[in-house]
Amino acid sequence: MAGHSKWANIKHKKKKEDKRRGKLFSKLSKKIAVAAREGGGDPEMNSDLRMAIQKAKDNNMPKDNIQRAVDRGTGNLDGVDYERIIYEGYAPAGIALYLDLMSDNRNRTASEIRHILSKRGGNLGEEGCVAWMFDRKGQLIIDRTEEDVDEDEVMMSALEAGAEDITIEEDMIEIISLPSDLEEVRETMEEDGYKFDSGDVVMLPQNIIKLDDKSDAKKVLKVIDALEDHDDVQDVYANFDIPDEIMEEIETEEE
């Protein structure tokens, strides 16, 4: 089973608890607009746009919002021009961070991300400093709290569809594929009757740092929360794991 599954589960729970839907839609709109600008407004001919639209649909973004984002990207509607930026750095305890952003002002964004990290014990690094620690993969998530599925059957369906790996947790099932196979795996499994909470191309850590110290775990989570709260940050990828008992203690303290 994949060693990164705990972090996927943490992100899954955070997503379900996230009430900042307006901010989420804004980030999804940027992703759609950039994909449309770079590859055209026809999702049938633009796989990046197709996946960005699917991600928006997974998060219940209204069709009108999706179309407006496409139109902004293709120039049919006036709007701000965003560019995709990748930043790399470190959180406390030596945790590697790989950040995917969409920004209309590279200098402003770099300054703000650097401030977020330095204020919380992290730092922004040079290009390539941590990218080698991550692999680009397709990821599908089945929410087990919403979907009652048989573990053996979903595993068989995923493998027959072309998945590389399946991780089964109490709350979710994570299915990993090559990026180029993501859409085919999803479509094949949907034909088998499975529904997905999310599906995207992600950066998965090759090796995991286990945070056994609660203080370090809290510091890292605070950095992640601050980064994810930034308007320009699309995704945060990191190479850590927090033991269940420590995560439960942290969650209890925050209630």
Domain count, the chain: 1
pLDDT score, position 76: 80
Tell me which amino acid residue 150 is: D
CA distance 33 to 21: 18
pLDDT score, position 59: 87
Q: How many Cβ atoms from other residues are within 10 Å of residue 67's Cβ? A: 15
- Residue 27 is part of which domain span? 5-74
Nearest alpha-carbon partner for 163 in 179, 183, 177: 177
Q: Taking a C-beta distance cutoff of 8 angstroms, is the pair 57, 97 a contact?
A: no
In a domain, 184, yes or no: no
CA distance 59 to 66: 11
In a domain, 65, yes or no: yes
pLDDT score, position 9: 58
In a domain, 170, yes or no: no
In a domain, 81, yes or no: no
In a domain, 199, yes or no: no
Q: Which residues contact 190 (CB under 8 A, 6 or more apart)?
A: 196
pLDDT score, position 1: 34
DSSP string, the chain: --TTHHHHHHHHHHHHH---HHHHHHHHHHHHHHHHHHH-S-TTT-HHHHHHHHHHHHTT--HHHHHHHHHHHHTSS-----EEEEEEEEEGGGEEEEEEEEES-HHHHHHHHHHHHHHTT-EE--TTTTGGGEEEEEEEEEETTT----HHHHHHHHHHHT-SEEEE-SSEEEEEE-GGGHHHHHHHHHHTT---SEEEEEEEESS-EE--SHHHHHHHHHHHHHHHHSTTEEEEEE-EE--HHHHHHHHHHH-
In a domain, 68, yes or no: yes
Could you tell me the CATH number of the domain that includes residue 17?
1.10.10.200
pLDDT tens, position by position, for the chain (255 residues)?
334 455 555 555 555 455 455 688 889 999 999 999 999 999 999 999 999 999 999 888 999 999 999 999 888 877 778 889 999 999 999 999 999 999 999 999 999 999 999 999 999 999 999 999 999 999 999 988 888 889 999 999 999 999 999 998 888 899 999 999 999 999 999 999 999 988 999 999 999 999 999 999 999 999 998 999 899 999 999 999 888 888 888 888 876
In a domain, 63, yes or no: yes
In a domain, 99, yes or no: no
Whole-model pTM over 0.75: yes
